[in-house]
Structure 1
Amino acid sequence: MAALRTVPSRKRGPPVSTTVPTEVDRAQAQPLHRRILFPPSSSAESPRILHSSAHETLDPLILDLIALSLRAYVTPWYNGAISRDPDKAFLQAVTAVLVHVVQALEVRLAAVDWANVLLSELPDVLANHYRDWDSAVERAGGGMAHNLSVDDMFHHLQPHIAIHLRQAAEGETTARHRVTPEVDRVYLRALVNRLLKLLLPPEDYRSETERAIVREIIVGVVFGTVFNRVAQPWFIHGLIAKQLEAREAERAVAQKTAAADDRPAGTGFVDKAFTALLSLPLLFASLASTFSALSSSARTTSSDRSSSPPPHESLIALILAVVPSSVFLSQLVYLVSLPLAFFSTQLGSFLAQSVTGHACSASTVKVVLEGAIKGMFPNDGWPAPKEEDPDEEAQDELRRRCEEALARALPSSIPSLLYPRLPAEPPDPRIHLARHLLRPLTSHTANVHLFLSIVDLVVGKVFPELIVAPED
């Protein structure tokens, strides 16, 4: 009989779970887009989309947005009651086409000077929009335009080949106005068809059926929703009110948290003063390096921006168009314009770097994608049920909430400076200024013109080959 071996005793640790993960558990641990686009047994890797270094952060969000869109709008009509695609090959094929489109857009978006668009061209569009609206309000109903409403006059002051007005039918949400705008579907189809030719793979664009389906989805669903619903005044008022009210709630929570965690005043003041003294050398060094960087970048980019006006001029023109005119504002703009003109090159470079570093950063794109996913699919990854348009009473309530939220966001001293003759009775005088700032947003016609102008601006920058040079 073999001798027994003595095994040294070991200290027992916590029991180790020997449960083997099931196939369902492994599937739930996968990212959302893989659970939708790939079968559980698939070993294929998720496609890489972006060429930039931010692809690890943004690719999963883009794929999630694509997957949720396909599950909500493609799978129901393709599979129906009988699954025609158990291996999800069709969804993967559609995803491959959309990935190609996103990659083509990435290359084009990277070539656009977004600093110039956001700081110069877009403010010019908005300033002209406000000026045309004020001019329409002043001219409508008087002189030779005695039979024209404000919407009619604005449409004549800002004509567009794709927009025409028709008489509002009884029962429409715009029935309080005499006319309602319509965007020409022929114009939109021609525009989308040219975009598809530049974005789709050649073999997909040559397929007339595929091209027609994609075109009609974009024209009917995307553009149709934007111009018919998103451009409604009540929708914009509700959107602004929700954003401002959410920020108010966040500030209130932050103030309560800061008050609860606040230490004794003496200790806090000493710590803050000591920290500020220690940071002064770093602050001066940072300012010096920033100024030198701005000076060098200004010299290198001055030749590229010599044809366009300095950004601060467009921003000042926008402010003058939006806020009410006053003696105080005129004097303030005059005093501020002198130093701004002297440092216009450095200021332009600073603003351009700020836009490039913040508005066009990966973190900003990440926030936009997360907001798009949450807004488009709020019901646990599914679209929200279609809601009926609010009646006139509900629309007035949204407008009131928007005005009050914007008024609370304004400093209390601004209305007395911009509106020296504001009525003294309640409500808050800032509400009068808020109404003035929101004045063109009360018109569906003006909103459609503004949205289409922005679409034309962005399309012209991203797809410059579609722009026709004006005749001499």
Structure 2
Amino acid sequence: MSSRHVASSLISNSSHTTNNATKSVPLSKRLLFPTAPASSFDLPPLLLNPLIPPELNAELYDFIALALRAFVQPWWTKITRYDKEFLPIITEILTHAVRTLEERLANAHQKGDLAKLVFRDVPLVVTQHYRDFRIAQCKVNSSYAAGGALSFSALFHASQSHIAVKPDGEIDSDYVRFLVDHILKTCLPKQDWDPEPERVIVREIVVKIVVKDIFGKITQPWFIEKMILEQLMSIPSHVKPKDTLSHSNGLSLHTLIVFVLTLIQSISGACLALVYAYRQLVITIKEVNHHAGTTETHSTQVPVTNLPPPPPPLPDIDSVPVSRTPSEYSAPSVKHSVSSSSSNFLEPTPHSPSSDLTQPDLPPDYASYPLLVISEIFNMDARFASNAVMSTVGMATSQGVAGGWIDKLLPYLLTPYALSQRIPCSPPIDPTPEEQAETRQKLINFLDGNTLASLLLGPYPSDTISAALEPLENRECNFHLIMILLDSILGVLFPELFNGTG
């Protein structure tokens, strides 16, 4: 009996060990790579950039696995329950598409187009959105609106007319279908792009997700306000701890010793913080300068293909056998005069296209555009104090000593090494109208009691924030903003779409 008991216990222990090993295998490994050995847990890299942290690679695989399990596996198992190759094939296609987008994003970053998009194009688009919204508000019930016959949405659409957005804010699916068709042609493998049924099915699924689900969600005013509030709440706030020590009225030796030791501790802590900040600043400056030098080297290695072809070589006149008179032998050689004239001909004039290539480019001045959009959103020009502060900051960052270095720092912040990891989360549930009003009220009252907010946003910061949220609370206007931003992003990643080469 004892031997049977020992054998049964060993079998149960081995089964528990096997079950624990199976349970410890991540979902992405079991679902996306079912034929891989269970002992190895290293997933193949989804992104090829070595600066990408491995945690982000694992999170992306988990996101793909959860999406396929939620939206593909339920209906595929009804067709066939024993086929385990469909999900791995989808994973291969997604890997190819993600790497293609990564390559285009890296090329745009090396050429500087990504920095121009983030720090110039997007702020300008948002600034124009706010200006057009406020101008349309002023035109309502005026002669510009045909005596009040035109609605606010029609006035705003007239100032920001887009081929894909109708006056009522509805998006034209054919425009999005054209964009998705080109993106799929670029990102999908050839064997998956050639079959027309597969291409059409994938395209229609993507168009439905983009138009109905994504655009239908991110254009909601409550979604934008909730996203802004979550970002503000994630900022750590340093609250000064309350002093729990009892302060005695008399000055004793014990109190003096505690005061001296506390002062020494504060000074040492401040010195350590300064040393750490100095070291981090030196490291950051070195990395920024190295990144700027690498980008400039890459930009100088790009061949110039728009130069005109060189002129044909002029013939050597002295080599032509002609008869000369004795007086002509004493004349100066024609070769020197022709060569001098040809050198004058080849020398570029100030208005020739080749001379423009040698002119230095103007500085990008990336810091001025974010300051411009902040000034427009919160209407900084309407108050003297905020206008003075923004003007001073603008001069310091654009024309001051720090202007050139900031133009190097901001593109560096877009590198994968400097970007913080963002874990995909589940989509938010549509809140009730009461919850939406509560979110807006929290966002409006977020800076109450802040002295700096009163200086920049006026004596009533809540009113300024409420006015800043109005251009984002109209869903029809948000569709215009989203489509223009989408065109700007695709113009950087897929420039052939808009320059006629695609």
In the superposition, the TM-score normalised over structure 2's length comes to 0.71
Q: Which residue of 2 aligns with 1:52?
A: 49
Q: Residue in 1 aligned with 2:250?
A: none
* Deviation at residue 164 of structure 1 after TM alignment: 0.2
The equivalences for 1:51-90 within 5 A come to 51-53=48-50, 54=52, 56-80=54-78, 84-90=80-86
Q: Distance in 2 between matches of 1:395 and 1:414?
A: 32
Once the two structures are TM-superposed, the CA of residue 240 in structure 1 deviates from its matched residue by: 3.4
Match of 1:277 in 2: 271
1:195 equivalent in alignment to 2:183: yes
Instruction: State the Cα distance separating 1:90 from its structure 2 match.
Output: 0.9
Look up the match of 1:326.
Answer: 383
Indicate conservation of the 8 Å contact 1:403/1:431, yes or no.
Answer: no
Alignment correspondent of 2:367 = 312
Matched residue type, 2:383:
S
- How do 1:98-247 and structure 2 match up within 5 A? 98-113=94-109, 114-145=114-145, 146-166=148-168, 181-244=169-232, 246-247=233-234
Deviations 1:320-372 (A, max 9, x none): 2111222223333333333331332122112332x235xx43762x32xx2x2
SS of the equivalent of 2:13 reads coil
The aligned residue for residue 408 of structure 1 is: 446
Aligned residues of 2:177 and 2:207 also touching (Cα < 8 A): yes
Q: Within 1, Cα distance between the matches of 2:31 and 2:103?
A: 27
Of 387, 408, 414, the residue aligned with 1:356 is 414
Once residues 293 and 34 of structure 2 are traced to their aligned partners in structure 1, the CA distance between those partners, rounded to angstroms, is 56
**Matches of 1:411 and 1:456, distance apart in 2:** 40
Percent identical residues: 28
Instruction: Give deviations 1:15-52, integer Å, cap 9, x for gaps.
Output: x9992245432221101212323448856974432212
Partner Cα separation in structure 2 for residue 121 and residue 342 of structure 1:
23
Higher alpha-carbon deviation: 181-190 or 235-244:
235-244
Question: For the residues of structure 2 that align with 1:312 and 1:187, how far apart are their CA atoms?
Answer: 34
Measured in 1, the distance between the counterparts of 2:202 and 2:170 equals 22
- Give the C-alpha shift of residue 274 in structure 1: 1.5
1:197 deviates by 0.2
In structure 2, C-alpha distance between the alignment counterparts of 1:296 and 1:108, rounded to whole Å: 22
Q: CA deviation at 1:78?
A: 1.2
Structure 1: stretches of 5+ with no match in the other structure: 1-15, 167-180, 377-383, 423-428
Query: 346, 351, 354: which one pairs with 2:405?
Result: 346
Distance 1:103 1:192 in 2: 17
Shift of 1:232: 1.5
1:133 partner letter: F
Matched to 1:59, the amino acid is: N
Higher mean alpha-carbon deviation, 157-166 vs 337-346, is at 337-346
CA contact (8 A) 1:100 1:201 kept: yes
* Local SS of the residue matching 2:82: coil
Shift of the 230–298 alpha-carbon distance from structure 1 to 2, 3 Å rule, reads closer
Q: Secondary structure at the match of 2:166?
A: strand
Query: Which structure would you say has the larger Rg?
Result: 2
Following superposition, the deviation at residue 74 of structure 1 comes to 0.7
Give the CA deviation at 1:116.
Answer: 2.7
Change (3 A) 1:157 1:348: same
- Paired amino acid for 1:190: F
The amino acid across from 2:372 in the alignment is: A
**CA positional deviation for 1:151:** 1.9
Helix, strand or coil for the counterpart of 2:167? strand
Mapping 1:359-370, distance limit 5 Å: 360-361=416-417, 364=420, 366-367=421-422, 370=423
Report deviation, 1:402: 2.1
Pair 1:72–1:269, CA change in 2 (3 A): farther
| Cα separation, 2, equivalents of 1:143 and 1:349 | 48
Give CA deviations for 1:68-127 in whole Å, capped at 9, x if unaligned.
Answer: 1111111111112x6x14251111111111111111111111122333322222111111
CA distance in 2, matches of 1:58, 1:289: 24
Partner Cα separation in structure 2 for residue 397 and residue 281 of structure 1: 46
Give the Cα separation in 2 of the matches to 1:295 and 1:51: 24
- The 1:463–1:266 alpha-carbon spacing in structure 2 relative to 1, beyond 3 Å, is farther
Please give the per-residue CA displacement for 1:226-259, whole angstroms capped at 9, x wherever unaligned: 2223211133233434554x548x75xx859x77
Separation (CA, whole Å) in 1 of partners of 2:55 and 2:457: 47
Question: What CA distance in whole angstroms lies between the structure 1 residues aligned with 2:174 and 2:269?
Answer: 64
1:375 aligned onto 2:426? yes
Query: Superposed, which structure 2 residues align to 1:246-257 within 5 Å?
Result: 246-247=233-234, 251=237
1:465 maps to which residue? 496
Distance in 1 (CA, whole Å) between partners of 2:259 and 2:184 is: 63
Structure 2 letter corresponding to 1:79: T
- Counterparts in 2 of 1:235 and 1:17: CA distance versus 1, 3 Å: same
Aligned residue type for 2:13: T
Deviation at 1:185, TM superposition (A): 0.7
Q: Does the CA contact (< 8 Å) of 1:408 and 1:430 recur in 2?
A: no
Cα RMSD (Å) of the superposition? 3.7
State the structure with bigger RCO (CA 8 A, min sep 6), 1 or 2. 2
Tell me which residue corresponds to 2:29: 34
8 Å contact from structure 1 (residues 403, 434) kept in 2? no
What amino acid maps onto 2:99 in structure 1? Answer: Q
Letter paired with 2:396: P
- What secondary structure is seen at the aligned counterpart in 2 of 1:162? coil
Q: Is the 8 A contact 2:447 2:462 kept in 1?
A: no
Give the 3-state SS of the residue equivalent to 1:438 in structure 2: helix
Aligned CA distance change for structure 1 residues 198 and 288 (closer, same or farther; 3 Å): closer
Q: How does 1:433-448 map to 2 (within 5 A)?
A: 433-448=464-479
Q: Deviations over 1:179-205 (max 9, x none)?
A: xx1110111111100000000001101
For residues 32 and 259 of structure 1, the distance between their equivalents in structure 2, rounded to whole angstroms, comes to 47
**Letter paired with 1:342:** G
Call closer, same or farther: CA 1:63–1:293 in 2, change over 3 Å: closer
The number of residue pairs the alignment matches comes to 406
| Distance change in 2, residues 1:151/1:415 (3 Å) | farther
